[in-house]
Amino acid sequence: MKRIAIYALMLLVELIVSCGRHRLVVHGFVDEPQDSILFDLKDYVLPASEVDLWNVVKCGGYYYFTFHEQMRGEWGGSHSLLMGASEDKLQVRYIPLPDNVKSISSTFVRNDSLIMESDDGQLFLFDSKKWSWSPLTPEKDDEGIMYEDDDWMVKHADHGEFGNATWFIDKHSKEEYAFVELNGGFRRIGNTFYVVSLTRIYEIPDPTIGFHCDSSTRYENAKETHLLEHHFFDAGYKPMRHFVNPVVRFDEFDLSGEFILPDGSRIYHNPYEVFNDYLKADTTFVASFCASDTLFCALNTPLGLELAKLENVKLVPVHHFNKSIGSNYPYHYFNEYPSISARYKYRDESNPTDYRLLLVINTEAGSSELIDIAHNGNTLLKLCYDASGLNPVERDGFEELLTFYLKDWDRLALDSVIRKEKSLGGEISYLNLGADRNKYPPEKIFKKEESYHIDIISKQIDDSYEVHSKYWVQESNQSIPAIFMDWSKLRYDSKFDAAAKYQELVETISEAVGQGTTIPETDRKMKYAEWHYGERSIRLYGTDFNVRFLMF
């Protein structure tokens, strides 16, 4: 009996441990997931949409994940959704966005609070107790901040090809010191600043070695100057006088490049990184953070992700993760695997003087890994979500759809159309698109006293092409006065014969309603034919790239 009781107790303990999740604790470095989070997104995205994980931040015991929904059938059709997961139990909860926000530009933490910036520049503060947002008025001093502590504020302004600059602003003396074209992640250890860019680490032992700004070159005045770099040269800026050499670099750019001006004088080419330098490097910096008075860097090496630390101006390996993170290119593209989709440093709760680093690796569609890195170890979570979008079908079903349209035209309604489209492999890809976005149907078919919108249903045919069907919907009774369909290749390298598809549709339509009228090609080289069937009209347009069908 005693053995049975002990065995039962062991089973109970095992059950409790397996069912009750707990906060993951760093115990050295790990390369395999210790736990997983499943995101059920189907109630928040349209069936035809593809979903990708774009960002994560950590605040107040929660991970906040930003997903991007890429809608199909219309350019610019996309929006963001935000999910929170508690660090201890990994329980997922949906976070509604403010009513007027569709897409998130960024999420970040300030003063231990989560802040979101929308694509149109609005700021919102998240209340984790009420699980809601409130508008936040940006302060002028917040603009351009790259780094801030009790002594220094670092700001940056970028005017693209016309130059960019970074200012170190002394909070005590109010003096400003500028470095033209210097940019990256700014870290401070003691009195020394480190600037980590794509392929280099710069060490600035004293920011006052920068260009001492006068009233015209201080941040608030110079940031508005369109020719920013020339403006500094006019004020006496000398690149080689106010330059700091990199202590670590992976690129091969010639630091001694110079130009001879028509008057015979010489000026040095900007000695900091040129945008494409990283293309020459087989190793790049992914992100960086400071802990234990040491600079730690995540690297993308030929062998994959690696953590290193800076010792005596040399990088010393700390841990090699057995993970590929894809291209060295610093910008993330939709559906690129593997790739780093998020990098975020945050203050370590157990030691507020240290920082940690969050990295998200999108390993494949619907699967990512969240690596939470400290200086002495890491935790690793597997993230799973449905990102599938459309399931490919073998045929577009146009013949069945046309028969359905002709038979039920006078009583054609949205719900019956959706049922028919879904039976042929179609899925809703866009809802409530403004009806003024497409001018193909003639204005005369729309009633002035009525309101209309467009719903789109999409299909993917094998790995070749896709069809987007736009339905003009009369909002008062959900009737459909016009239909517009577009056939185009799935990707730029997909095989789709637009001319053959055009001829196939001509034959299908002619068989259903009789011979149509073919209009000779115009200077635009567009094929065009039209049919009239009672009070209904059908038009077909064809180019070398796509085919379009209109019925009203």
Task: Write the pLDDT tens digit of every residue in 92-112.
Answer: 999 999 988 999 999 999 888
Same-domain status, 421 and 510: yes
Query: Which pair of tokens denotes residue 282?
Result: 């087989």
Same-domain status, 450 and 533: yes
Task: Measure Cα distances from 357 to 218, 234, 334 in Å.
Answer: 33, 41, 23
278 located within any domain: no
Q: What is the mean pLDDT of residues 121-125?
A: 93
On the question of pLDDT at 437 being above 70, the answer is: no
Backbone angles phi, psi at 351, to 5 degrees: -150, 90
290 located within any domain: no
Task: Measure Cα distances from 131 to 40, 93, 510 in Å.
Answer: 19, 10, 58
319-326, long-range: CB < 8 A, 24+ apart: 319/29, 319/378, 321/29, 321/31, 321/371, 322/31, 323/31, 323/361, 323/369, 325/286, 325/300, 325/361
76 located within any domain: yes
Looking at residue 411, what DSSP letter applies?
G
Each residue's pLDDT tens digit, 321-371: 989 998 876 666 667 789 988 899 999 888 888 999 999 999 998 999 999
Same-domain status, 537 and 445: yes
- The CA-based angle 420-423-426, given to 5 degrees, is 85
Each residue's pLDDT tens digit, 361-391: 999 989 999 999 999 999 999 999 987 788 8
Same-domain status, 183 and 165: yes
The whole-model pTM stands at 0.84
Same-domain status, 505 and 472: yes
Quickly count: other Cβ atoms within 10 Å of residue 422's Cβ.
13
3 located within any domain: no
Q: Which residue has the higher pLDDT, 204 or 410?
A: 204
- Contact present, 23 and 88 (Cβ < 8 Å): yes
What band does 13 get if pLDDT is binned at 50, 70 and 90? very low
390 located within any domain: no
What band does 227 get if pLDDT is binned at 50, 70 and 90? low
Domain ends where: 249, 272, 296?
249
Domain ends where: 361, 385, 409?
385
Give, for 12, the enclosing helix (H) or strand (E).
helix 2-19
544 located within any domain: yes
Same-domain status, 402 and 527: yes
Same-domain status, 449 and 340: no
pLDDT of residue 23: 61
Same-domain status, 329 and 406: no
What's the total number of domains in the chain? 3
102 located within any domain: yes
- Contact present, 367 and 51 (Cβ < 8 Å): no
On the question of pLDDT at 173 being above 80, the answer is: yes
Domain ends where: 358, 385, 412?
385
Same-domain status, 406 and 539: yes
197 located within any domain: yes
Range of the structural domain that residue 371 is part of: 26-137+322-385
Each residue's pLDDT tens digit, 251-279: 776 555 554 555 554 444 455 555 455 55
Backbone angles phi, psi at 446, to 5 degrees: -100, 135
Bridge partners, residue 479, by sequence: 413
Same-domain status, 472 and 424: yes
Locate the DSSP E strands across 181-332: 185-189, 192-196, 200-204, 211-212, 246-249, 258-260, 266-268, 284-291, 294-301, 304-311, 314-320
What band does 20 get if pLDDT is binned at 50, 70 and 90? very low
- Contact present, 147 and 210 (Cβ < 8 Å): no
Same-domain status, 196 and 78: no
Q: What is the mean pLDDT of residues 507-528?
A: 77
Average pLDDT of the residues of the chain: 85
Determine the Cα–Cα distance for residues 189 and 292; give it in Å rounded to an integer.
9
Determine the Cα–Cα distance for residues 383 and 366; give it in Å rounded to an integer.
8
288, burial (CB in 10 Å: exposed 0-12, middle 13-18, buried 19+): buried
Percent of the chain topping pLDDT 70: 85
Same-domain status, 171 and 82: no
Each residue's pLDDT tens digit, 21-53: 456 666 799 999 999 999 999 999 999 998 999
